[in-house]
Structure 1
């Protein structure tokens, strides 16, 4: 499993870096194309719609046809779709087409990215669940999360730096990374046999075994996307920076977020025998505190500090709900369970940008107030679940 794990870590790093590079410049791009904030929210939300639909599909498909072909298709599809997005934005910045045309093309490209990216986390987690004992899954999934954290650093930092050469420059640079990842999957992941030839019952959205992992996945991704979509606008409006400088500041803050995310994942991966429910409870409390700092901030330093605290909490949460889902179902249901929980993340991507940009229009701090409340509620759910497991309920 270690050889495959290294490849999965590199693949997730490269693909997340590409995704985060776009988010570092989405605010300035929207402003440069004379579009509105809710247009950015809409493009991210519609990508989440197809993620919700496709995550369960890819997960179930990997149960029947094998993990490698689905993972390869997903990574390659992300690369091609991202190249389409980069090409159109470069064209739009030069020619300034009508707003509706730009909105339609960006939505289409983001939707295609969502279709294929949905396969990557679902199949990656299913591969780990296939070959790792239940007691070690949280640690392995934390390692996978740490690689995503490195992508969170690489993407915004380099994307923000390249923005000085034009807002489309980071997009072209990072369109290559998923294509490199697809080559690595093809060359290094061994071909695996079909997991389950016959159709098996798959977990439903209402499956009680996956209820808490799905709530955690939804609320966490809701808050993540809220931060990603609103941060660029928040930096421009609250810190009074021009679009190019705001892209750099946004990139640097997202890079610091990645550092804290990695640190949390490393801590989880090194601690043996800790129940994922404990990490979920601790992460929820820390993330809630971080977002309180964000909406109460009065300087750029405090803004970055608050996001770092929140990111550390989320770094504890991500491997926790993934391991909880894997440990709750049978071997025959791993792909479907991973896809189901991943689809809950997609639902957070749908609701997060729409709700947060609407709230931002009322008051710029409202999206972060709601994020802090969401994590406080998640902490309550985690505490109740933990209490039940220790026979206290």
Structure 2
């Protein structure tokens, strides 16, 4: 009998490329908004709309990756992402030239960066997570696989911070042009290399998972809290650096890229080294990672210069990088194969839900007082840490037999 080797590394490559494209935008999104005349809250709304699309489509993508196959889902996702980012780059150029301005510019930002790109990227991580859950059956291997997804995202954060930050020194449009090129490379990779499953490998009717299922809701609450805390500071990091240090738009992109690079390094260190070697259970990962991330949020509160800011963001990346594999792997160990696609989508939707309100609320709080979103993130992170310490679900996670 021919044994087909799982293509986990290829799925991780897809995660890396789509997040590399997204992270390349992060260092420049704040200064770009100001260059084209958009207010902070308008960028917050754009990111929140993208999160709404993740919430609405993640579980559907996850189930369809089991019923239709991983390849068709990822090809469709990468094609949509590439097209929308080509159009977004063109729109940004028109905005900087003053050809498209005001409400029209804002609406098109929402349609392209929010609706189009948000719907596209929401397919990739649930598809990869469902696949890993499908081909792994024990806790240690499952946790390592889920940590691999996080490591791919972390490496993409590092790469995107470098690419976006460095390219922004040559002008705002240069990294914008690089994004669809990266996405097109991902589309080519998936189209050529990813094997399409045979009919017997697919699941005709993948199960839908309720967020109120007693097996999963405590993990969803913990994940919701972690991503909410992150969302409160992620979108304002560029504004925080520009205003605390008094930088120009181009230098803000470079400095923000450096700060996000530190977060990415922390995340990669956690998910590529600490998590695989620790052998910790999902509950332990959540507790240890939550404590480290909380320390980072607290250090970010005072305006004490760039060095402390970078250290704080690095600790947040390290802590959340340690905790997230516990959040993603823990509930999958309690579910059957037919439920994995729905669970992967639900995990993605939960993360997306936090970015529906957090970026808009974060930018609104920033307008009222630059330190307010940081304090809010710290309070939420503290609540999550206490929750995973005291809730009985995190005392033990045992795998159930996986139906085949």
Q: TM-score, normalised by structure 2?
A: 0.92
Partner of 2:125: 121
Out of 149, 168, 174, the position equivalent to 1:163 is 168
Partner of 1:59: 62
Partner of 2:276: 270
User: How far has the Cα of 1:185 moved from its partner?
Assistant: 1.4
Matched, 1:20 2:26: no
Matches within 5 A, 1:182-221: 182-194=187-199, 197-221=203-227
SS at match of 2:169: helix
Contact 1:278 1:386 in 2 (8 A): no
User: How far has the Cα of 1:224 moved from its partner?
Assistant: 2.8
Determine the C-alpha separation between the residues in 1 that align with 2:101 and 2:393: 56
Say which structure is richer in helix.
1
Structure 2: gaps of 5 or more residues: 398-404
Determine the C-alpha separation between the residues in 1 that align with 2:158 and 2:272: 15
Determine the C-alpha separation between the residues in 2 that align with 1:103 and 1:243: 20
Determine the C-alpha separation between the residues in 2 that align with 1:125 and 1:318: 13
- Root-mean-square deviation (CA, aligned residues, Å) is 1.8
User: How far has the Cα of 1:330 moved from its partner?
Assistant: 1.0
Contact 2:207 2:342 in 1 (8 A): no
4+ runs deviating over 6 angstroms: none
Q: Which moved more, 1:54-63 or 1:89-98?
A: 89-98
Question: Residues 88, 388 of structure 1: CA spacing in aligned structure 2 closer, same or farther, 3 A cutoff?
Answer: closer
Structure 1: gaps of 5 or more residues: none
User: How far has the Cα of 1:297 moved from its partner?
Assistant: 3.7
User: How far has the Cα of 1:198 moved from its partner?
Assistant: 4.1
Q: TM-score, normalised by structure 1?
A: 0.95
Partner of 1:178: 183
Partner of 1:88: 91
User: How far has the Cα of 1:98 moved from its partner?
Assistant: 2.4
Determine the C-alpha separation between the residues in 2 that align with 1:296 and 1:302: 9
User: How far has the Cα of 1:35 moved from its partner?
Assistant: 1.5
- How many matched pairs? 391
Out of 305, 325, 335, the position equivalent to 1:299 is 305
Determine the C-alpha separation between the residues in 1 that align with 2:203 and 2:251: 54
Out of 146, 155, 158, the position equivalent to 1:141 is 146
Contact 1:138 1:268 in 2 (8 A): no
